[in-house]
Structure 1
Amino acid sequence: MGALGSALTKSISLLFLMGSTMLLIFIVLSGSIEHGPVNQFYWLQADTANITGAPELSRWTFWGLCGVSDNKNSNCTSLEPAYPLSPVDDFGTTVGVPTDFVSNRDTYYYLTRFSFCLFLIALCFIGIALIFYILSWCSYTFSKTVFVTIVIGTLLNMAASACQTAATVLAKNAFKDADLSVSIGVKMMAFAWTTVALNIILFFITGGSFLRKAYKAHKEFVELQNYKEQALTYEQQQQQQQQLRFQQQQQQQDLEAAAATSVVADEPQPQESHQSGIKFFKIRRTHKSDEESI
């Protein structure tokens, strides 16, 4: 069951990473290709017939401004990096432009330009996370990189989607207040927030997996340390027991030596003093006999 659950988690994570990367690629390709299905992706479509130098219908894509033909992007000639959703800057005039774009020009300009950069960086981090996630199946070391890149990519993706959504909704309201037809590109918005949802789910999946592996590694390290401590304690106990046995042997040898010494001391000595007394008595007796004879 554990192996099955791990395989299922890996499959879901890989699927979500691939899906998030693919949707971000669709967002980034919007406006750069006039072929299906990319030519159907845009942030905002609005009636710009009253604006000098603008087509009747304009679509703001990731790379810039496009016209509309058969409900598809066409004539995408005004393309450049960080193209703002700001008619004042895009058409170089304020004639026929809704007043909110003129009075709050900086809001539209900077929100959309920042979202462009954030989407590109988020794509880089999510793409790197996808590559390293596949490599993490071979080595636990890559899991840390995957988790970090997913966290950064998720934050950047959320910021990019929030900036672009805010600017797009404000632009829609500005055109609508000017009684001009306008619509939001549902597909692009769906792509943006779907990637956010997928990345948030991936954050919890990879984060849980990373924490579980980290806890397992820490547990193994603690067990190894305990084993080393037990081995060291056992070795110290063995040394103490050897020292104790050595001391007991020394004490036993000392006792045996002391016992041997006491036995030697208790053995009877030769009666030299008694024999000397007898010899003295014999000498005295001989001497007395000599005196009597004299």
Structure 2
Amino acid sequence: MARNALLAPLSFIFIGGSIVLLFFVILSGVQDTSPLNKTYFLSASTDGITGARDVTQWAYFYICGPDNADCSGAWPAPPLGWAWSANPENAPSQLVGSYGGSTTSYKFFYLWRFGWVFYLIALVFSVVAFFASLIACCGRLGAAVAGFAAFVALAVHSVAVALMTASFVEMRNAFRSAGRDASLGAWGFGFSWGSWAALLIATVLLCMGIRDGGSGSGRGLKLGRKRSVRSRRSYDLGSRRVKEDYA
């Protein structure tokens, strides 16, 4: 119990920090304030592509210009190719296909769509783990419940950041292969992976709390009566026979 009194508040703080960082990612581009105007996943030169800005930045709900300004309308899981018109000219061929209104390839359409959804699922389970961690200080059972919730949140979060990383790293490489400047968003990636790391630490702390109090089994009790074996030995001392009892 003494260990949980320390580990539970620490896990609560780390899960709370993970949720805050995740909100920074999800709300990127909502307002022109720091860090929301600096948080995006990819910035690329898109000048000369049909219907595109000179520079495009991909955020969570929006596709924007520099500093997350001049954004498109908010849309759930926006196709990455919505940065340009349908069947565009001069866009990297790996990114363009028949999906998203003839703007996005099959691969990038589904890669980011699933990544986008897993971000929201990770947020939901992180909130559940956050409140579950409040009971972790009550003992090993509370730590087990909170630890399970945190583990599920971590698993979902891992899928989210993996898909996000795969989507935008490959997208950056496609732009560079086409001779265009492209760079990953330091804030978007930093917040995403920082949130994941904080949740990982919280999960480890909660799992440590499950072991609080030790095994507690103690020494086993020996059941049954202790058998006493007596052996009698006889000795002949002259004409007398002497018997000794040994316990």
TM superposition score normalised by structure 1:
0.66
What secondary structure is seen at the aligned counterpart in 1 of 2:7?
Answer: helix
- 156 and 91 in structure 1: CA distance in 2 versus 1, 3 angstrom threshold: farther
Alignment-mate amino acid for residue 185 of structure 1: G
Q: How much has 1:32 moved relative to structure 2?
A: 2.6
Distance 1:114 1:39 in 2: 24
Q: How much has 1:214 moved relative to structure 2?
A: 8.6
Report matched runs for 1:178-197 at 5 Å. Answer: 178-197=178-197
What secondary structure is seen at the aligned counterpart in 1 of 2:70?
Answer: strand
The answer for the alignment partner of 1:111 in structure 2 is 111
Distance 2:88 2:196 in 1: 35
What secondary structure is seen at the aligned counterpart in 2 of 1:113?
Answer: helix
The answer for the alignment partner of 1:65 in structure 2 is 63
Matched, 1:174 2:174: yes
Distance 2:199 2:139 in 1: 22
Matched, 1:42 2:40: yes
Distance 2:28 2:123 in 1: 14
Matched, 1:92 2:86: yes
The answer as to whether partners of 1:45 and 1:60 remain within 8 angstroms in 2 is yes
Q: How much has 1:91 moved relative to structure 2?
A: 3.1
Structure 2 unpaired stretches of 5+: 98-103, 226-247
Q: How much has 1:140 moved relative to structure 2?
A: 5.3
More helix per residue: 1 or 2? 1
Distance 2:189 2:91 in 1: 24
- 125 and 214 in structure 1: CA distance in 2 versus 1, 3 angstrom threshold: farther
Q: How much has 1:155 moved relative to structure 2?
A: 0.7
Deviates more, 1:9-18 or 1:165-174: 9-18
* 1:210-269 C-alpha deviation (Å, 9 max, x unpaired): 2446945xx49x98xx6xx97xx89xxxxxxxxxxxxxxxxxxxxxxxxxxxxxxxxxxx
Distance 2:213 2:195 in 1: 26
What secondary structure is seen at the aligned counterpart in 2 of 1:136?
Answer: helix
The answer as to whether partners of 1:33 and 1:39 remain within 8 angstroms in 2 is yes
After superposition, the CA RMSD in angstroms is 2.7
- 86 and 210 in structure 1: CA distance in 2 versus 1, 3 angstrom threshold: farther
Alignment-mate amino acid for residue 121 of structure 1: I
- 213 and 26 in structure 1: CA distance in 2 versus 1, 3 angstrom threshold: farther
What secondary structure is seen at the aligned counterpart in 2 of 1:146?
Answer: helix
Aligned residues: 219
The answer for the alignment partner of 1:29 in structure 2 is 27
What secondary structure is seen at the aligned counterpart in 1 of 2:43?
Answer: strand
Alignment-mate amino acid for residue 81 of structure 1: P
Deviates more, 1:164-173 or 1:103-112: 103-112
The answer for the alignment partner of 1:153 in structure 2 is 153
The answer as to whether partners of 2:49 and 2:84 remain within 8 angstroms in 1 is no
Q: How much has 1:181 moved relative to structure 2?
A: 1.3
Higher relative contact order (CA 8 A, sep 6+): 2
* 1:86-123 C-alpha deviation (Å, 9 max, x unpaired): 35x85323312111113681221111111111111111
- 45 and 189 in structure 1: CA distance in 2 versus 1, 3 angstrom threshold: same
- 171 and 212 in structure 1: CA distance in 2 versus 1, 3 angstrom threshold: same
Alignment-mate amino acid for residue 10 of structure 2: I
Q: Percent identity between the aligned chains?
A: 27
TM superposition score normalised by structure 2:
0.78
Distance 2:94 2:21 in 1: 31
The answer as to whether partners of 2:11 and 2:203 remain within 8 angstroms in 1 is no
- 90 and 127 in structure 1: CA distance in 2 versus 1, 3 angstrom threshold: farther
